[in-house]
Chain A
Amino acid sequence: MKLISVAAEEYHTYLDNLLSGRRAECAALVQELIERGMGMYDIYLKLFQPSLYDVGSLWEHNQISVASEHLATAVTESLFSLVYPTIFRTERVGKRAVVTCVANEFHQIGAKMVADVFELNGWDGFFLGPNTPSEDLLDLIEKKNPDVLGLSLSIYFNLPQLLEVIERVRDRFPRLTILVGGQAFRWGGVKALSEYPDVTYIPSITDLESEIQAETTHA
């Protein structure tokens, strides 16, 4: 299998364009990578994810404004549409996942990537978006009857809300597999998850893929 990668110079040019909000230039690189044969998974892991981590780090160190961070995120989200034709046309395996950010969580891009990884593996990945009220989430789980629920947490201070959602979901759907992840867990909180049965912390997209493949073969 041909290994397609992003050259360091290409990456830095992309990051510059991203920080300046030059969407067309960013899109041109993504399109070129697709034409070179790079799959959605690699585009997410080798371009979108590291560039957003770099943007986040620059903001945390006051190198860029929060407005620039928002702009970079918005541009990246708009580029997802370039890879959607590949994602949604993979053969279905008859499994469903619901992926969401809990209430007060507005960083949705990580959760969206998770939903897309499910789709790439042939699952129906329903993405609910940011700041999802618990009641709406419970209703959708009732309606869609997913095999897996994915919950995303970007801000550590929202951990109590996440735990509350897990309790409510467990109460109503005791056997539903719950996967949890997000940048918030860099600061801790994984231990709190172990209090709940069948709730698994997923540290990375690569780990998510392994988990999805295991769930796919699970009857």
Chain B
Amino acid sequence: MPDTALESTLTQFLLKHASVLVFVTDRHGQILQANQYAESVTGRDLIGVDLSDVVVDFAGNFSIEIPADEQTSSMWSVTTASGLPQTFSFHFIDHGERIIAIGEHNHRHSERLEASLIELNKEVGNMNRDLQKRTAQLERLNEEKNYIIGVAAHDLRNPIGAIHSLSEFLYEDAATSRDDEELEILSTIHDSSGFMLTLIDELLSVSAIESGKVRLNLESTDLNALIAASIKQNQPLAEKKSLRMTVQSSDALPPIPLDRMKMQQVLNNLISNAVKFSQPETAVTVSVSQDGDNAFLTVEDEGPGIPEEDVDKLFKPFSRTSIKATNDEKSTGLGLSIVRRIVEEHKGKIWVDTQVEKGAAFHISLPLSQNHHNKEARNDKTRTY
């Protein structure tokens, strides 16, 4: 004989304490009864609520379809108190005017999810370890490379400097005897050793910058004055090519914190490149302006421009483009990479606009105040952490 008292006690106990959702609805889906767990999961009083308000239904055509076989379950996602949906497997009891829907967590899904997440976390952790190890190895290799370059360049500088100076003396001496062949040989020795000295100096610069040994000596600087000095330095070659050198300066631009020597190096490089690559009787324009918290500088020429495929490598060390300077001057391939590093050390940016046969415009933006930029950088760091 069934123990109805026991069954009743058990039913009441399960309705109160079991972690399953129990909905008793009419045939239209209106909830007439719900157990405590259902109200706890959904976070609301469910009596009188339509089941379609509780079950997530993107198609907007929710209806209770009772499977023919009571073993078969239907998967419904239920909106929970946290706002996130949770999926339950529902079984149904067709009880005439009433439908009883009982929803339980699918434990196999949960276990699979947990196992997958654990594995994924381990994999990510191990990949991160590997990545950090490789990064450290690469940094060590980079330091070794910079050290070797620095030592080699430093040791070469003296002997090549001696060759350069002595070839100059010999050239001056030979000039009096007017031996053209001798003069040509000495001129070649002088030019080549001069190029090697430039290369060595730039290698030393790159090595120092990459080793982090370069410290900017920031001083409040009139950028217009630096530009004027660079223009003057490049005037002789510009005049030889009858170039029109124009400066569009801004009197309103306040002094900017700059390392004068390094920024002069940047300006000399950009302006001398513009002059070297310009055809005779064209224009080179240097313009300065201010916008908000930044100063903007542009060096623009009417030269051959830079092919699109060369633009990406322009600021990389030892990169060379397919275009040649008008007098076929040799390039070390390091100048623009040094320029980029110096600009970036000043927390600025450099980029180029160019079109083949129409010229190139090199743009630099520099912060008017290093304090303002440092504050922004600190805030970013805080947010990231």
When each residue 83-94 of chain A gets 1 if its CB lies under 8 Å from chain B and 0 otherwise, what string results? 011001100100
Q: Size of chain A's interface in residues, with CB distance under 8 A?
A: 20
Name the B residues within 8 Å of A85 (CB-CB): 132, 136
Cα distance A18–B385 in the bound complex, in angstroms: 18
The A-contacting residues of B in range 111-158, CB under 8 angstroms, are: 114, 117-118, 121-123, 125-126, 128-129, 132-133, 135-137, 139-140
Looking at chain B's contact residues, is the secondary structure mostly helix, strand, loop, or mixed? Answer: helix
Q: Is the Cβ of A127 less than 8 Å from the Cβ of B126? A: yes
Candidates A31, A70, A80, A92; contact of B129 at CB < 8 Å: A80
The B-contacting residues of A in range 45-104, CB under 8 angstroms, are: 67, 70, 74, 77-78, 80-81, 84-85, 88-89, 92
The B-contacting residues of A in range 81-132, CB under 8 angstroms, are: 81, 84-85, 88-89, 92, 108, 112, 115, 119, 127, 129-130
Q: Is the Cβ of B129 less than 8 Å from the Cβ of A130? A: no
Q: Is the Cβ of B133 less than 8 Å from the Cβ of A88? A: yes
The closest CB in chain B to the CB of A119 belongs to B133
Q: Is the Cβ of A81 less than 8 Å from the Cβ of B132? A: yes
Q: Is the Cβ of B126 less than 8 Å from the Cβ of A129? A: yes
Name the A residues within 8 Å of B139 (CB-CB): 89
Q: Size of chain B's interface in residues, with CB distance under 8 A?
A: 18
Candidates A67, A77, A84, A129; contact of B132 at CB < 8 Å: A84
Cα distance A151–B239 in the bound complex, in angstroms: 76
A1 to chain B, nearest CB (A): 25
When each residue 143-180 of chain B gets 1 if its CB lies under 8 Å from chain A and 0 otherwise, what string results? 00000000000000000000000000000000000000
Name the B residues within 8 Å of A84 (CB-CB): 128-129, 132-133
Looking at chain A's contact residues, is the secondary structure mostly helix, strand, loop, or mixed? Answer: helix
Cα distance A78–B120 in the bound complex, in angstroms: 12
Cα distance A88–B114 in the bound complex, in angstroms: 31
Q: Is the Cβ of A129 less than 8 Å from the Cβ of B122? A: yes
Q: Is the Cβ of A127 less than 8 Å from the Cβ of B129? A: yes
B383 to chain A, nearest CB (A): 13
Name the A residues within 8 Å of B135 (CB-CB): 88
Candidates B125, B133, B140; contact of A78 at CB < 8 Å: B125
A108 to chain B, nearest CB (A): 6
Candidates B114, B123, B132; contact of A70 at CB < 8 Å: B114
Chain A positions near chain B (C-beta within 8 angstroms): 31, 67, 70, 74, 77-78, 80-81, 84-85, 88-89, 92, 108, 112, 115, 119, 127, 129-130
Chain B positions near chain A (C-beta within 8 angstroms): 114, 117-118, 121-123, 125-126, 128-129, 132-133, 135-137, 139-140, 385
Query: What are some 23 contacts across the A-B interface (CB < 8 A)?
Result: A31-B385, A70-B118, A74-B117, A74-B118, A74-B121, A78-B121, A78-B125, A81-B125, A81-B132, A84-B133, A85-B136, A88-B132, A88-B135, A88-B136, A88-B137, A89-B136, A92-B140, A112-B125, A127-B129, A129-B122, A129-B123, A129-B126, A130-B122
- Report, nearest first, the 6 A-B pairs whose CB atoms are least far apart: A88-B136, A84-B132, A77-B125, A74-B121, A129-B126, A88-B133
